[in-house]
Structure 1
Amino acid sequence: MGTSTSSAGAGSGSPFDPPWLDSAGESIDDSHADSMLPPQGDEPEGGSEDNQSPGNTDGDASQSNAGDQESGSNTAPSGRYKEARTSMGRFMRTGDRSDAARAIGSFVRKGLGGASKAASRMRTSSQVAAALGGFLTQVRDATDPTINEWVTSARARGLSAQDAALEVINQIVPSGGSVDEESAKHAMNQAIIHLYEVDPSTDIFALTNEQISSLMGYTLAFDVYNRVQLELGRVFEKLKFSAQVVQERLAQVQDYVLVVVRDAMQKVQNSGQPRSVRDISNSTLRKALEIFGAQ
Structure 2
Amino acid sequence: MGTSSSSSGPGSKSPLVPPWADSEPNTPLPESEGQRFREFRTHLGKFVSGGGTDGERLRTALGSYAGKATGGGTVGSRRFGAMASAGGALFDAMAALRDGQDPGIPGVDLGTLEGRPTQVAIDLLVNALVPPNGDGDRIRVALNDALSEALEGQADFDFNNITDDIIADMMIAYLAECIYEQVVLDSNDAFAKATDPAQYDRAEKAMRGLIRAAADKHMAPLLTGNVRTLNGRMVRDAQLRAIKDIWAEWEAYEK
2:125 to 159, 168, 186: 168
In the TM superposition, 1:132-281 aligns within 5 A as 132-144=90-102, 150-155=109-114, 158-173=115-130, 176-196=131-151, 199-201=152-154, 205=159, 206-237=161-192, 239-269=193-223, 274-279=229-234, 280-281=238-239
Shift of 1:120: 0.6
Change in Cα spacing, 1:14 to 1:171, as seen in structure 2 (3 Å) is: closer
Shift of 1:182: 2.9
* Deviations, residues 93-143 of structure 1 (Å, cap 9, x unaligned): 051122212212211111110111111111111111111111100011124
CA distance, structure 1, for counterparts of residue 194 and residue 135 of structure 2 = 30
TM-score of the aligned structures, taking structure 2 as reference length: 0.81
Shift of 1:229: 1.0
Change in Cα spacing, 1:139 to 1:84, as seen in structure 2 (3 Å) is: same
Change in Cα spacing, 1:269 to 1:19, as seen in structure 2 (3 Å) is: closer
Preserved contact between residue 6 and residue 229 of structure 1 (Cα < 8 Å):
no
Which has more helix, going by share of residues?
A: 2
Shift of 1:212: 0.7
The DSSP-based 3-state class of the residue aligned with 1:241 is coil
Pick which of 277-286 and 76-85 moved more.
277-286
Shift of 1:145: 8.4
In the TM superposition, 1:29-108 aligns within 5 A as 74-92=30-48, 93-94=50-51, 95-108=53-66
Preserved contact between residue 130 and residue 278 of structure 1 (Cα < 8 Å):
yes
CA distance, structure 2, for counterparts of residue 177 and residue 103 of structure 1 = 31
Shift of 1:222: 0.7
RMSD of Structure 2 on Structure 1 (CA): 2.8
Change in Cα spacing, 1:200 to 1:292, as seen in structure 2 (3 Å) is: farther
Q: Report sequence identity in percent.
A: 24
CA distance, structure 2, for counterparts of residue 255 and residue 262 of structure 1 = 10
* Deviations, residues 209-243 of structure 1 (Å, cap 9, x unaligned): 11111111111111111111111140121x25111
Greater relative contact order structure (CA < 8 Å, 6+ sep): 1
* Structure 2 portions without partners, runs of 5+: none
Preserved contact between residue 260 and residue 292 of structure 1 (Cα < 8 Å):
no
CA distance, structure 2, for counterparts of residue 293 and residue 204 of structure 1 = 42
TM-score of the aligned structures, taking structure 1 as reference length: 0.71
Preserved contact between residue 225 and residue 257 of structure 1 (Cα < 8 Å):
yes
| Paired positions, count | 239
Change in Cα spacing, 1:167 to 1:21, as seen in structure 2 (3 Å) is: same
CA distance, structure 1, for counterparts of residue 233 and residue 19 of structure 2 = 23
* Structure 1 portions without partners, runs of 5+: 24-71
**1:116 matched to which residue of 2?**
74
Give, as a single letter, the amino acid of the residue that structure 2 aligns with 1:178.
Answer: N
CA distance, structure 1, for counterparts of residue 103 and residue 56 of structure 2 = 49
Preserved contact between residue 190 and residue 219 of structure 1 (Cα < 8 Å):
yes
